[in-house]
Structures are given as structure tokens and as C-alpha cells.
Amino acid sequence: MNSSRVNRFLVRFNRYIAYVLIAVVMAILVAGFRMTGNFIFIPRGLADLLHRIYLNVAFLFLFLTHTLLSLRIVFKRRGIAGKKIDIPLILIGVGLFAYFSYLSLKLILPL
């Protein structure tokens, strides 16, 4: 697979991630409003679990992936490409995901 096909795939993948990210943000908002008692179509305990753990981690993963892919595209357009930018972006993404996932899970689980 050549470089231009990989870049086209990543741009398209980034766009799909943005659409899924919008849906996850809407679900976070609905779960948050349910926690305050405004919606009654899902149980409060489920809304709390979804809002604090599952949707939070999914949002974090999708947001970091979307942001770092967008940064990669910007760097590629500016002529900075290859492993010298891909490896730091991957390391930054894994590090931020691990740190904020730990903080998210620390709210519920006794770590």
C-alpha cells in the first residue's frame, strides 16, 4: 500500500471518527441530563455508569484519535511527515489515553 492511499484512508477514517464522536457526545449529554433527573427513559444508575465510565472512555479514545490524526494531516501538508512525527503522536496519544482513563476509572473503582 503506497503512502497516498494510506493518507486518503486516514483522512476518510478521521471523518468517520468525527461522526461517531458527535454521537458519543450526544449520548454523554443525554446520560448527564438523566443523572440530574430530567430524562426518565433510562435508569439513573445506568446513566451514571454510562456517563462516568463507558462513554467517557469512548469519548476520550475518539477525541484523541480524531485530534492526533488531524494534527498528522496538518503536519503532512506542511511537509513534516514520516516516522519523525508519527511516533511522537502515537506516544502522546497512548500516554494521554492511559492517564485520563486512569483518572476516569478512579472515580468509580477504588484504585
Sorted by where each begins, the domain ranges of the chain are 3-106
Cell digits of residue 80: 513534516
- Once rounded to an integer, what is the mean pLDDT over residues 2-23? 91
- More confident position, 21 or 77: 21
Q: In terms of DSSP H, where are the helices of 1-111?
A: 3-35, 44-49, 55-77, 83-106
This prediction has a pTM of 0.84
Grid-cell match 443523572, residue found: 35
